[in-house]
Chain A
Amino acid sequence: MSTRVLAPRRSRRLRIPIIWWLLAATFLIAWLLVSQYGRGDFVAPSNLNNIVERSTALGIVAVGQTFAILVGSLDLSVAYLISVTAVMASFIMQGDPSRVPLALLVVFAIGGVVGVTNGLLVTKARINPLIATLGVGLILRGLLNASFQNFAGSVPASFQYLAYGSIGPIPVPMLLFAALVAIAALTLKRTRFGAHIYAVGGDRATARLSGIRSDRVVIGAHVVTSMTAVLTGLYLASRLRSGAPWIGTDGVYDLESIAAVVVGGTVLAGGRGGVLGTVAGVLIFATLDVMFNQLGIGSYTKQVLRGLIIIAAVAIYAYRSREVVG
């Protein structure tokens, strides 16, 4: 047993993560079902476009949520922050292109404050992230509802380029989303910040004993999450021409982003996973949405099926991780 045990295993197995198989399977099943029972062509460009479009809003914030979850935290305030951003942006812009920079400055500042607050509550005050971020979210909602009851202001037409423009055949939001994913993936893989995120999420004590200032890493991750929520809010404002106080919560971006991250293979306890899995998770959700629509399945049935899929995905991970570790 000696030499065999001690010899290095050079197997950095380059496996395709299971989530991409799941995505492919979901897509194929959807394709089959729709061509059999549904109306319309599932693989028509317009339909594929539709899938990606539906993914964008959730995708942006889910990428950010991945950061929070990787450090072993999570963020329930994103839905409220999305509402705040959309409303504040369109309220400040008032359809005037010259006010766009001011609006951006304000919403990103709000995002920064919310992210740092979440991070401080989780690290310095040692409040459970579930409670801390929910509390922050409720505060945001209260402040927002006290000031706005309906669509407030509007964004200028030029700002809507963000949601509706296209470069060649490719829609602008798709490009921006791809860029965001690439930056996020590289940050996690190629930067010191990314390495520390995995370290802190993997074992906070070990990270601390290695000299990593883990509190700062957690706070940084929360700021990233909040910033992506701001981006989602801006995207939605651009799409809807105006922001309303309910758009974030109506989209259930808090729970859905967490679900997408977990379905994408990131471990809820932190330290393992990545944004590419999250993107696959988001695409699975969108594919299912489109499929259900084309099959004419009612929205309540839809929710039941989604719930089942989330549970099934996580069960598969639990089973596989037992296999690997055990």
Chain B
Amino acid sequence: MTFGEPARPATQPTPAAAARRLRDSTATEDGATALAMRAIVKRFGAFTALDGVDFSCRVGEVHALVGENGAGKSTLMKVLTGAYQADGGEIELFGQRVSFGHPLDAQRAGISVIHQEFNLLPHRTVAQNIFLGREPHHFGILDERLLRQRVLQLLADLHVDHFLDPSTLVGELSVAQQQMVEIAKAMSFEARVVVMDEPTAALAAPEVEVLFGLIRKLTERGVTVVYISHRFREIFAIADRVTVLKDGVLVGTREREGLTSGELVRMMVGRDLADYYPERAKPEEIGDEVIAVRSGSNDVLHDIDMHVRAGEVLGVAGLQGAGRTELAQALFGVKPFTSGEVWLNGKQVHFRSPRDAVRRRMGFITEDRKSEGLALRQPIRDNVVLSFRAMQPLLARLGRDGSHGHPSVAELTRSVDVRAAGLYQEAQFLSGGNQQKVVLAKWLATAEDVLIFDEPTRGIDVNGKAAIHRLIREAAREGMAVLMISSELLEVIGMSDRIIVMREGTIAGELEAGASEAEIMALATHGLDPLEPEARAAAVPDEAVAVKPGARP
């Protein structure tokens, strides 16, 4: 099948596009190579992000690109689309050497990327967004009828016309619908390679199903889909081939047929990975209930009943949008519960603002450390005393490091092992792991009872992760009650002494330490599995995936 054979030729635009199709039609047989990246090298200063990576895709296949955070998946795709320039290697698209200077060039050549963060304007309509910058017009006057027609055609081709109306404002759409708009936009560029970066991160199960239908529709039309994800069941459900990257090096490319999830895990994590999760709490280390919620509700959450005890790490799992972050925010007074009770150290509390929570010796390491955790342009020193200084009386004498004796900044940064040029280095120049340590140090200056972590290791490299995991465990060992939210199932399983799973704004269930991926996912999706039975069978984790207590697989 040749690509882009228009279903209804009337909507296929511009002679230039037609010419391009003609030119390329020779190379677009199914099974032929659509894209070949060879020996790609990319360095950032002394750091080698990609070291001689080979990656190739066949026409019309779904090719999953997997690896841990920091493995180089995004970097590879940025090199492909011209957002980064490679330091070595070559890229071939349908048999022709290419090198793009700007994502726009790549888009014109038929490579579109659907980012996790959509590039859409919320206050403009679906139609306006899809043809942004390419609006049909006559001498500068917009032809809105033609625009609407083209968009309707596009949506009909993708069989999503019953989900989307071209004149709706994008800001009024659900995340799943916005994603459809992005895909439609990609197809309006006649994309032949579509890169999807964690497309299901923000989708509920039924929406994932719709997305998969859409992806199949694309591949039927000869479009190649590069599917970046670390969700095994999705990879096994949709991918034809899987390529694994680790620390910027290609581990291998495998047909999905015959690949087990155990093998995939070993490819991703590596056999000899030394960083084990720290040992879990022993029963005698776990103390009394520190913080507890009884039937807490607000506009997102309902019927929340949970508690965290001193010395334990309570893991919170769930899909995006299940209310995990909202739970943390409710506990910390950012968006408090509007009904129900919160008890802290045996006393009922009513937090109205984060300040109330800080005053009661709680700390909240937020998901987005750059905008919520750190003052990026301030030195480490000021970041560490941010909360402490805020809680001091107006005329307190704070001394030179702002802490006036009480835990000094130097001690705090030492205790979390921040690697920096000095205390006056600005936070923005630290690595993700060290930034996270600074945020933690900030909270260790004031928090004594409760620490809440929301995605503590997002965007942090493997070594940094291990260090953060150790620090989380240390905090618990010193008697704090720790709540840890994470989207990485292995992290939740590896770190938690107890796991609660959230779904649709409430707690769907509680699991013991060492629960398996499958158990968590069952609770998180309410058995509403988006996948076909056979795919599910393939995705059931084998023995190697179940994380043994206290260790990574």
Binding site for B on A (CB under 8 A): 1-3, 5-12, 190-196, 198-199, 202-203, 205-207, 209-212, 271-272, 325
Q: Is the CB of A210 within 8 A of B176?
A: no
Q: Is the CB of B135 within 8 A of A195?
A: yes
From A2, A9, A202, give the contact of B121 (CB < 8 A). A202
User: Which residues of B lie under 8 Å from residue A3 when comparing CB positions?
Assistant: 206
Q: Is the CB of B124 within 8 A of A199?
A: yes
Q: Is the CB of B164 within 8 A of A8?
A: yes
User: Which residues of A lie under 8 Å from residue B103 when comparing CB positions?
Assistant: 209
Q: Is the CB of B207 within 8 A of A203?
A: no
Q: Is the CB of B207 within 8 A of A2?
A: yes
* A191 with B142, Cβ < 8 A, contacts A198-B123, A199-B132, A207-B133 known: yes
Bound Cα distance from A152 to B207, whole angstroms? 71
**B 75-106 to A, binary, CB cutoff 8 A, 1 in contact else 0:** 00000000000000000000000000001100
The smallest C-beta distance from A201 to any residue of chain B, in angstroms, reads: 9
* Residues from 208 to 235 in B contacting A, C-beta threshold 8 Å: 210
User: Which residues of B lie under 8 Å from residue A272 when comparing CB positions?
Assistant: 123
The smallest C-beta distance from B100 to any residue of chain A, in angstroms, reads: 13
From A1, A192, A271, give the contact of B137 (CB < 8 A). A192
From B123, B135, B141, B207, give the contact of A6 (CB < 8 A). B207
Residue of B nearest to A273 (CB): B123
Give the 9 A-B residue pairs with the shortest CB-CB distance, closest first. Answer: A2-B206, A210-B133, A202-B121, A210-B132, A211-B133, A8-B165, A212-B133, A206-B119, A192-B137
B177 touches A (CB below 8 Å): yes
Q: Is the CB of B124 within 8 A of A10?
A: no
User: Which residues of A lie under 8 Å from residue B171 when comparing CB positions?
Assistant: 325
* Residues from 151 to 192 in B contacting A, C-beta threshold 8 Å: 162-165, 167-169, 171-174, 176-177
User: Which residues of A lie under 8 Å from residue B142 when comparing CB positions?
Assistant: 190-192, 194-195
Q: Is the CB of B174 within 8 A of A5?
A: yes
User: Which residues of B lie under 8 Å from residue A194 when comparing CB positions?
Assistant: 142
From A5, A195, A202, A325, give the contact of B204 (CB < 8 A). A5
From B120, B165, B174, give the contact of A10 (CB < 8 A). B165
Bound Cα distance from A194 to B173, whole angstroms? 23
User: Which residues of A lie under 8 Å from residue B163 when comparing CB positions?
Assistant: 6-8
User: Which residues of B lie under 8 Å from residue A209 when comparing CB positions?
Assistant: 103-104, 119
Given contacts A190-B142, A202-B123, A211-B133, 7 further A-B contacts (CB under 8 A): A5-B176, A191-B142, A195-B132, A199-B121, A202-B124, A206-B120, A325-B171
Q: Please count how many residues in chain B sit with their CB below 8 Å of the partner chain's CB atoms.
A: 36
B8 touches A (CB below 8 Å): no
User: Which residues of B lie under 8 Å from residue A212 when comparing CB positions?
Assistant: 132-133
**B 29-49 to A, binary, CB cutoff 8 A, 1 in contact else 0:** 000000000000000000000
User: Which residues of B lie under 8 Å from residue A206 when comparing CB positions?
Assistant: 119-121, 132
**Once A and B bind, how many residue pairs between them come within 8 Å at the CB atom?**
95
A-B pairs with beta carbons under 8 Å apart, 20 shown? A2-B206, A5-B174, A6-B207, A8-B164, A9-B172, A10-B168, A11-B172, A190-B144, A192-B140, A192-B141, A194-B142, A195-B132, A196-B133, A203-B119, A206-B119, A206-B120, A206-B121, A206-B132, A207-B132, A211-B104
Bound Cα distance from A274 to B169, whole angstroms? 16
Q: Is the CB of B168 within 8 A of A9?
A: yes
Chain A contact residues: helix, strand, loop or mixed:
helix
User: Which residues of A lie under 8 Å from residue B169 when comparing CB positions?
Assistant: 12
Residue of B nearest to A192 (CB): B137
* A191 with B137, Cβ < 8 A, contacts A7-B163, A202-B123 known: yes
User: Which residues of A lie under 8 Å from residue B168 when comparing CB positions?
Assistant: 8-12
B282 touches A (CB below 8 Å): no
Bound Cα distance from A198 to B132, whole angstroms? 10
* A211 with B134, Cβ < 8 A, contacts A2-B206, A191-B140, A191-B142 known: yes
B504 touches A (CB below 8 Å): yes
Bound Cα distance from A2 to B174, whole angstroms? 11
Q: Is the CB of B204 within 8 A of A2?
A: yes
User: Which residues of A lie under 8 Å from residue B140 when comparing CB positions?
Assistant: 191-193
Residue of B nearest to A4 (CB): B174
Bound Cα distance from A192 to B165, whole angstroms? 21
User: Which residues of A lie under 8 Å from residue B459 when comparing CB positions?
Assistant: none
Bound Cα distance from A6 to B137, whole angstroms? 31
B422 touches A (CB below 8 Å): no
The smallest C-beta distance from B352 to any residue of chain A, in angstroms, reads: 17
B128 touches A (CB below 8 Å): yes
B122 touches A (CB below 8 Å): yes
Q: Is the CB of A8 within 8 A of B162?
A: yes
Bound Cα distance from A202 to B128, whole angstroms? 12
The smallest C-beta distance from B188 to any residue of chain A, in angstroms, reads: 11
Residue of A nearest to B134 (CB): A211
The smallest C-beta distance from B81 to any residue of chain A, in angstroms, reads: 10
User: Which residues of B lie under 8 Å from residue A11 when comparing CB positions?
Assistant: 168, 172
The smallest C-beta distance from B200 to any residue of chain A, in angstroms, reads: 14
Bound Cα distance from A195 to B167, whole angstroms? 14
User: Which residues of A lie under 8 Å from residue B204 when comparing CB positions?
Assistant: 1-2, 5
The smallest C-beta distance from B191 to any residue of chain A, in angstroms, reads: 14
Bound Cα distance from A144 to B165, whole angstroms? 55
User: Which residues of A lie under 8 Å from residue B210 when comparing CB positions?
Assistant: 6
**B 418-452 to A, binary, CB cutoff 8 A, 1 in contact else 0:** 00000000000000000000000000000000000
User: Which residues of B lie under 8 Å from residue A1 when comparing CB positions?
Assistant: 204, 206, 504
User: Which residues of B lie under 8 Å from residue A199 when comparing CB positions?
Assistant: 121, 124, 128, 132-133
Q: Is the CB of B124 within 8 A of A6?
A: no
Residue of A nearest to B169 (CB): A12
Bound Cα distance from A5 to B163, whole angstroms? 9
User: Which residues of A lie under 8 Å from residue B177 when comparing CB positions?
Assistant: 6, 8
Q: Is the CB of B207 within 8 A of A5?
A: yes
> Which of A8, A11, A12: most chain B Cβ within 10 A?
A8
Q: Is the CB of A191 within 8 A of B141?
A: yes
The smallest C-beta distance from A198 to any residue of chain B, in angstroms, reads: 6
User: Which residues of A lie under 8 Å from residue B104 when comparing CB positions?
Assistant: 209-211
Bound Cα distance from A11 to B165, whole angstroms? 10
Bound Cα distance from A158 to B165, whole angstroms? 54
Bound Cα distance from A198 to B133, whole angstroms? 11
